[in-house]
Every structure is written in C-alpha cells, then in structure tokens.
Structure 1
Amino acid sequence: MSGEYVLWFDPRCSASRRALSLLRERGVEPALRRPLEEPPSADELAALLRALGLPARAVARRDEDEYQVLRLSDRTPEAELVEALAAHPRMLERPILVAGARAVLARPPERVLELLGPP
C-alpha cells in the first residue's frame, strides 16, 4: 500500500510522527513528503488545497514568525497566501495525508484514518 498514500510530514512534529505511527499500525507505509526539506511549488500547493477542499488560510500556521513578518491575515488574497506558503513552508500545517484526489489535514493525527478503507 505504499504508493497510494503521501504523508506531508515533519519528523520534528509530534502530530506528524503520530499520524505516521497510526498509518503503520494499519499496514500503510506512505511515501513521505517533507515540505521543509523540499519546498512545494505554488502549483503543487494549489493542487493540495483542491484535494483538501480548503482555502490556504485553513492550512496556514498563523503563529509562525514568517506569518507575522509577512503581515499575512484573513484578508490576504488566496493566490498571495499560496505563494507565501510555497516560499515559507514552515507556515504550512502538517501532517497532511494525500490519497489520490483526496486529502485530509490530520489535526488531530487520527484524521488520517478517514482516508483509509475499513480495517
């Protein structure tokens, strides 16, 4: 089941580690996408947001320094926020599990189970 799932993951993030553990407990070995090491393009983020069915502000970590420094807010235009997230991936919420055309923001980590079939 490895190629079917991609987990946007940060090994320093306890929620990311928990999500990975939950998947592995169910026999799923996802491909790991590390946005901090390999930043996504704006196009890749736009596709991710479509799969999530969420606007960029729903996956932006407002408490990150970059968010404050860049003076981003709920009034920031969507395209501008997507570009900012691509340029500063620390602002992107994680973990996120992608399964084909669907995705889920795994906050809490147990939400990854929503994309798995029945046990």
Structure 2
Amino acid sequence: MQFIYYPRCSTCLKALKKLKEKGIDVTLRDIVNETPTQEELVCWIRQNGKGIKPFFNTSGKLYREMNLKDKINDMNEDEAALLLSQNGMLIKRPLLIDGEKIIIGYQKEIYEK
C-alpha cells in the first residue's frame, strides 16, 4: 500500500498516524520529491471513476494562483494528469493507493475502519 503525502501537511500526518495506530504498513512517498507521473495519474483517475476534480487540491494556494477553478472543466484526463504531474502541490493529499483502490484526501470514516 502506497501513501502519497506532503510531510509538512497536518492532515497527511493525521492520516498517517491513524494508519500506524491500525497497524497498517505503507510505503511513504513524498508528493513533492516523488510526484506521481502523468501515467500513474491517468490510471488512478480512471480507476477512481469520478473525473479529474477530486485529484486537485482546490484549497491550495497554487490552485487559486493558477485560476484552475475556471480551467479544469475544459481539461481532459491526459491534460489534467500532465498538469498534476508537473507540480505535486496541485494534487489533493494524502493519496492512499492499494492496488485498484484509491482514497483521495483524509476521509476520517474510511481511515477509522
């Protein structure tokens, strides 16, 4: 299981702590230093089946600076994945990847299970 996170993000650290409490082993991946590739992101977007928007960190500074709110509706999966792969801070975090299953963001009710 892969845990993609930003080490200085309190929400990511809260999610990681919950996984450790549950005894779940994860491989850590820094979203900035080991940003997911375009290919990985396209695959995850398709597996998730909910479009591209859930993968964007819509509350992030960079998202707002780039005015992406008005742009992502016109992007296809490949364009969105390319943009996300170029800057990990645009990606909603943490990402928990377990084979075909993807959990985007810290969803307390899921992490509690």
Same fold flag (TM > 0.5):
yes
Residue number in structure 2 paired with 1:117: none
Q: What amino acid is the match of 1:64? A: G
Residue number in structure 1 paired with 2:89: 90
Q: How many residues are treated as equivalent by the alignment? A: 110
- Asked if 1:80 is matched to 2:76, the reply is no
Per the alignment, do residues 6 and 18 of structure 1 end up closer, same or farther by CA in structure 2, a change over 3 Å counting? same
Alignment of 1:28-43 (within 5 A): 28-43=24-39
Greater percentage in helix = 2
Alignment of 1:1-119 (within 5 A): 5-72=1-68, 73-78=71-76, 79-113=78-112
Kept in 1: contact 2:58–2:92 (CA 8 A): no
Unaligned segments of structure 2, at least 5 residues: none
Q: Deviations over 1:84-119 (max 9, x none)?
A: 1111110100011111111111333443355xxxxx
Structure 1 length as normaliser, TM-score? 0.78
RMSD of equivalent CA atoms = 2.0
Unaligned segments of structure 1, at least 5 residues: 115-119
Structure 2 length as normaliser, TM-score? 0.81
Kept in 2: contact 1:105–1:111 (CA 8 A): no
